[in-house]
């Protein structure tokens, strides 16, 4: 039996909350026992330094927005969550839509939202540690 002093303990409350969350997850996992796994992108990468900062950034582009020419700190895969983006980098222009993954080299580039509404992009960046 749990006494009132134990129930007011912050550590007990945290552990109880975690236990309830895992209990709920277990029930959900039993209901949907099929795990789907799909490789979206793969690339071998040689990094300039052994230590890197791995970053994940979500970028939201308003309708018709066009970035100025710019560079990122490092290369990495980019994942389009929604909308349509036209990317110009290294003298090549490609258009990507929701669910597409592409590799950005870290070279000078420009991105334009060429879809009808808002677009969202997830940037996975592999930048040398500072």
Return the structure tokens found at 8: 């007011």
pTM of the full structure: 0.67
pLDDT of residue 32: 60
Mean pLDDT of 88-93: 94
Domain chopping of the chain, boundaries: 1-34, 52-128
Q: Residue written as tokens 């006494």?
A: 3
pLDDT of residue 36: 78
Does domain 52-128 correspond to CATH entry 2.60.120.10? yes
pLDDT of residue 127: 84
Contacts of residue 51, defined as CB under 8 A and 6 or more positions apart, other chains included, come to 128, 129
Split at pLDDT 50, 70, 90, the class of 130 is confident
Closest CA to 78 of 52, 105, 53, 51: 105
**Average pLDDT over all residues of the chain:** 80
The predicted-structure confidence for 35-61, as pLDDT tens digits, reads as follows 777 888 888 888 777 788 899 999 999
């Amino acid at each position: 039996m749990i006494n009132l002093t134990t129930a007011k303990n912050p550590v007990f409350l945290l552990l109880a909350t975690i236990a309830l969350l895992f209990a709920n997850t277990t029930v959900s996992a039993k209901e949907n026992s099929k795990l789907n796994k799909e490789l979206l992108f793969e690339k071998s990468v040689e990094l300039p330094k052994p230590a890197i900062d791995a970053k994940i950034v979500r970028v939201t582009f308003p309708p018709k927005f066009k970035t100025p020419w710019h560079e990122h700190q490092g290369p990495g895969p980019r994942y389009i969550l929604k909308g349509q983006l036209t990317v110009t980098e290294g003298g090549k222009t490609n258009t990507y839509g929701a669910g597409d993954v592409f590799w950005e080299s870290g070279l000078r580039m420009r991105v334009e939202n060429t879809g009808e509404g808002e677009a969202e992009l997830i940037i996975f960046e592999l930048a040398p540690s500072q």
